[in-house]
């Protein structure tokens, strides 16, 4: 349904705005790479713009940080509707390796609503193009979400006080498709 | 024997105040002094002995020695010597004389020390918050050992705004960032503008502070940290991972096998190639020469592909482990890399010819963003920014590491000190990198990739390492510790020093030149902000049953 909606609303060229809210730069460069001759997304009508007020899509890179959350929210609010948000890279999708560190708020979805996730550290330029192409309906999705019937996280968090030193095996509940 | 000579000089001047000296080799010197003479000794080293200031480090050493520690690091580039001046501070009163009026480059490092470790630099003229977010309560210092890496204080106030200084009389404030088209990363500048001219600015950055040093000190192990170090920065990641590994190796006197050293050198130079090509492209983009932006990215792409063939990833190479490297360069890859270099060299010559004759670029860059030797010395500038001002420093030659002592290359310098000189220096360094990689490929012998590490690494040793990143010197300081992780790890990225000089560079320049002046230091805010946190909480390890773990996990779920 989202796909149909997207095709209807973003039928022509997409203008994207990229916001790095505190990541390492890796995803940024890959996004830049996507705009340059080898990958060249301008053939799909995708163009990078400098202001959120001109943009249809916001590309978020890096985890949401306490210090940038407000600015990120403001940039999102400045975009005219309809708008889409892509979380690019592991940090934006799930917080990355610093998801629970003291200055980090977590994935960007804590601050702005995210429509599409493109994971990877950093995602390859092909992956970014593919993600955007799926979103605007140029290609079909190759995967579908499944829900796992699993109530708790079976892996102990790696904290010195919580380390499992007994050698006991942690048994996973069998994953089932629902 | 230079280290001994320097030590004799210090002894002659401050004999009784020197408590202890560690001299692990001819290129490293650790001097423990009394807190009262720290300022004088730093002044003597910086001014009279003409050393280059590197970084100041605050360390919470209470669980081990019961004291706080402060280290000021200096580099004697001509003597190939890295020197650290350390002092212990009482745990109930962590105060030290600020050295920032004799060593201006220490400004940020001391403010950071105050923010994160809570060591008060007495006499610092501008003690404003630097690193922590605006709403962070006073008195909470994340790098102290009793602070958990995932703890956000209850008093944290999301609503609080940063208080900026009053602009000078007659100036308008132009905010720049945190999300700005020419900034790839978040940072906020408030420019004080009079008409078209910038009269000053205030910087509020450290928005990409992710608590990396703290995580390394509290949750990761020695061999996990290179991966984390790589993610300090997406462009010069390999530099950080090599610098960290070398710091640990120098602390525990472990030598990687020669083949590993050559492979590290090759990967570092591949990274320099892709970074310089990227930078030249971005600089041209900033001044509006988009054709060249596209061209240099096109030329750069094969470098990314060959890096992927060697390491399996385009950016994060996961190259280093303590005592060696993971990936080998096979004969097939060797010949492929040679071909890539040949093609790159030919294409890059054309670009250099195009850029150096382009009048438009010259008009935008000549005389813009000026630095001079004094600024380089006082602000501690490094890398192409220093070399473009005629200061001949390069860690690859001055503090040789990996296989750089076995290859020949020139250190490129220029005299102008402006953006144009920086452009020329970077463009010529590309050819030097190609030359280095070719020599390495030729001289690399067969052999093992890793040295064996027997048992635990010794505890409480200190290591320093400087690696020449594409942007300048990346300096790492490590104290080894228990539980298979360092006690303290401090990263000093090149942008940390270079960025401090940006207000001086843009002063009395047109506001339109601000972006290229800032761009010309190749700023990498993520490196600078990295953050710093490494602390090791040495808690007793508890054995948990599975039931307890499940309960804990559930409790966590609920809490979320």
Proportion of chain A above pLDDT 70, given as a percent: 74
State the residue range of the domain holding A25.
2-135
- Contact status, residue B87 vs residue B69, Cβ threshold 8 Å: yes
Note whether A33 contacts B297, CB cutoff 8 Å: yes
Looking at CATH, the fold of the domain delimited by B2-145 is given as: Beta Polymerase; domain 2 (3.30.460)
Size of interface A-B (CB pairs under 8 A): 189
pLDDT tens readout for residues B13-42:
888 889 999 888 888 999 999 999 999 999
Least confident stretch, A154-163, B211-220, B539-548 = B539-548
Give the mean model confidence (pLDDT) for residues B241-267.
Answer: 93
Under the banding of pLDDT at 50, 70 and 90, the label for residue B167 is: confident
Residue A171 lies in a domain: no
Residue B204 is predicted with a pLDDT of 80
Across the beta sheet with B462-469, the strand order is B462-469, B472-479, B488-492
DSSP state of B150: T
Q: A121 to chain B nearest CA, in Å? A: 8
Q: A9 to chain B nearest CA, in Å? A: 25
Three-class DSSP category at B199: strand
Is the predicted pLDDT of residue B147 greater than 70, yes or no? Answer: yes
Is the predicted pLDDT of residue B169 greater than 90, yes or no? Answer: no
**Which of these, B258, B233, B228, B262, lies nearest to B245 by C-alpha position?**
B228
Architecture of domain B212-529: Orthogonal Bundle (1.10)
Is the predicted pLDDT of residue A143 greater than 90, yes or no? Answer: no
Domain assignments of chain B as residue spans, ordered by start: 2-145, 212-529
Residue A92 lies in a domain: yes
Cα–Cα distance, B319 to B327 (Å, whole number): 6
Note whether B541 contacts A156, CB cutoff 8 Å: no
Phi, psi of B557, rounded to the nearest 5 degrees: -55, -50
Is the predicted pLDDT of residue A146 greater than 60, yes or no? Answer: yes
Nearest neighbour of A20 by CB, restricted to B184, B232, B537: B184
Note whether B210 contacts A26, CB cutoff 8 Å: no
Note whether B133 contacts A67, CB cutoff 8 Å: yes
Phi, psi of B138, rounded to the nearest 5 degrees: -65, 150
Note whether A25 contacts B134, CB cutoff 8 Å: no
Cα–Cα distance, B558 to B550 (Å, whole number): 12
Mean pLDDT score of chain B: 86
Based on the structure, what is the number of domains in chain A? 1
CATH number of the domain where residue A47 is located: 3.40.50.12280
Is the predicted pLDDT of residue A44 greater than 60, yes or no? Answer: yes
pLDDT tens readout for residues B484-529:
899 999 999 888 888 888 888 888 888 888 778 777 777 766 666 5
Residue B469 is predicted with a pLDDT of 92
Residue A106 lies in a domain: yes
Is the predicted pLDDT of residue B557 greater than 60, yes or no? Answer: no
Cα–Cα distance, B388 to B370 (Å, whole number): 10
Is the predicted pLDDT of residue B71 greater than 70, yes or no? Answer: yes
Q: A81 to chain B nearest CA, in Å? A: 20
Q: B179 to chain A nearest CA, in Å? A: 6
Which of B136, B304, B549 should be substituted to probe chain A, the one whose Cβ sees the most A Cβ atoms within 10 Å? B549
Residue B543 is predicted with a pLDDT of 37
Residue A152 lies in a domain: no
> Which tokens go with B159?
């609503």
Residue A158 lies in a domain: no
Task: Write down the ipTM of this complex.
Answer: 0.82
Residue A144 lies in a domain: no
Residue A122 lies in a domain: yes
Q: B229 to chain A nearest CA, in Å? A: 11
- Determine the distance from the C-alpha atom of residue B233 to the mean position of all C-alpha atoms in its chain, rounded to a whole number: 10
Residue A120 lies in a domain: yes
Residues in A closer than 8 angstroms to B132, CB to CB, are 103
pLDDT tens readout for residues B285-323:
888 888 998 999 999 999 999 999 999 989 889 999 999
Which of B207, B229, B292 should be substituted to probe chain A, the one whose Cβ sees the most A Cβ atoms within 10 Å? B207
Query: To 10 degrees, the CA torsion angle through B115, B121, B125, B127?
Result: 10
């Amino acid at each position: 349904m989202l796909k149909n909606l997207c095709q209807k609303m973003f039928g022509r060229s997409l203008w994207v705005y990229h916001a790095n809210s505190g990541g390492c730069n890796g995803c940024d460069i890959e996004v830049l790479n996507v705009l340059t001759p080898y990958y060249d997304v301008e053939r799909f009508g995708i163009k990078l713009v400098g202001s959120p007020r001109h943009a249809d899509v916001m590309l978020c890179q890096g985890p949401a940080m306490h210090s940038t959350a407000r600015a990120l929210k403001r940039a999102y609010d400045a975009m005219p509707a309809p708008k889409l948000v892509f979380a690019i890279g592991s940090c934006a999708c799930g917080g990355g390796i610093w998801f629970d560190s003291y200055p980090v708020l977590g994935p960007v979805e804590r601050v702005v609503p995210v429509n599409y996730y493109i994971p990877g550290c950093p995602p390859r330029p092909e992956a970014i193009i593919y993600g955007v192409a799926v979103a605007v309906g140029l290609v079909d999705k190759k995967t579908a979400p499944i829900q796992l019937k699993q109530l708790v996280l079976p892996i102990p968090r790696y904290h010195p006080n919580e380390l499992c030193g007994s050698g006991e095996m942690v048994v996973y509940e069998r994953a089932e498709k629902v | 024997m230079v280290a001994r000579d320097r030590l004799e000089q210090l002894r002659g001047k401050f004999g009784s105040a020197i408590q202890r000296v560690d001299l692990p080799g001819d290129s490293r010197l650790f001097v423990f002094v009394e807190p009262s003479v720290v300022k004088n000794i730093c002044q003597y080293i910086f001014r009279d002995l003409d050393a280059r200031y590197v970084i100041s480090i605050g360390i919470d050493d209470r669980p081990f020695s019961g004291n706080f520690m402060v280290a000021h690091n200096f580099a004697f580039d001509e003597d190939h010597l890295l020197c650290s001046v350390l002092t212990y501070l009482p745990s109930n009163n962590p105060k030290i004389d600020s050295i920032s009026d004799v060593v201006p480059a220490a400004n940020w490092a001391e403010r950071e020390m105050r923010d994160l470790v809570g060591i008060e630099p007495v006499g610092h003229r501008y003690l404003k918050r630097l690193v922590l977010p605006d709403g962070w309560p006073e008195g909470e210092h994340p790098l102290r050992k009793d602070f958990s890496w995932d703890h956000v204080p209850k008093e944290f106030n999301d609503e609080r705004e940063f208080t900026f200084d009053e602009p000078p009389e007659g100036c308008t404030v132009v905010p720049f960032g945190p999300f700005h088209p020419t900034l790839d990363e978040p940072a906020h500048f408030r420019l004080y503008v009079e008409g078209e001219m910038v009269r000053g600015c205030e910087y509020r950055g450290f928005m990409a502070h992710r608590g990396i040093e703290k995580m390394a000190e509290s949750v990761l192990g020695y061999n996990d940290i290179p991966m984390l170090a790589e993610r300090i920065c997406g462009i010069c990641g390999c530099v950080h991972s090599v610098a960290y590994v070398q710091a640990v190796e120098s602390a525990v006197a472990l030598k990687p096998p020669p083949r590993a050293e050559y492979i590290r050198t090759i990967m570092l130079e591949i990274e320099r190639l892709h970074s310089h090509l990227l930078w030249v492209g971005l600089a041209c983009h900033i001044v509006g020469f988009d054709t060249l932006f596209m061209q240099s990215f096109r030329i750069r792409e094969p470098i990314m592909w060959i890096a992927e063939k060697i390491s399996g990833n385009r950016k994060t190479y996961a190259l280093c482990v303590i005592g060696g490297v993971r990936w080998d360069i096979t004969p097939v890859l060797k010949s492929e890399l040679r071909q890539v270099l040949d093609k790159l060299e030919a294409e890059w010559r054309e670009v250099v010819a195009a850029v150096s004759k382009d009048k438009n670029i010259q008009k935008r860059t000549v005389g813009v963003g000026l630095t001079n030797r004094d600024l380089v010395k006082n602000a501690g500038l490094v890398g192409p920014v220093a070399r473009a001002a005629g200061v001949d420093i390069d860690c690859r030659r001055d503090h040789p590491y990996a296989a750089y002592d076995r290859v020949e290359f020139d250190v490129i310098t220029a005299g102008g000190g402006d953006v144009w000189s920086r452009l020329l220096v970077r463009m010529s360094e590309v050819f030097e990198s190609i030359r280095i990689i070719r020599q390495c490929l030729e001289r690399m012998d067969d052999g093992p990739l890793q040295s064996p590490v027997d048992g635990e690494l010794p505890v409480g040793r200190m290591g320093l390492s400087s690696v020449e990143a594409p942007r300048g010197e990346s300096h790492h300081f490590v104290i080894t510790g228990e539980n298979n992780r360092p006690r303290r790890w401090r990263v000093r990225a090149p942008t940390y020093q270079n960025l401090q000089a940006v207000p001086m560079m843009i002063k009395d320049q047109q506001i339109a030149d601000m972006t290229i002046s800032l761009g010309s230091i190749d700023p990498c805010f993520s490196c600078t902000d990295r953050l710093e946190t490494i602390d090791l909480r040495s808690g007793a390890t508890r054995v948990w049953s599975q039931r307890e773990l499940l309960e804990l996990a559930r409790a966590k779920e609920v809490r979320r």
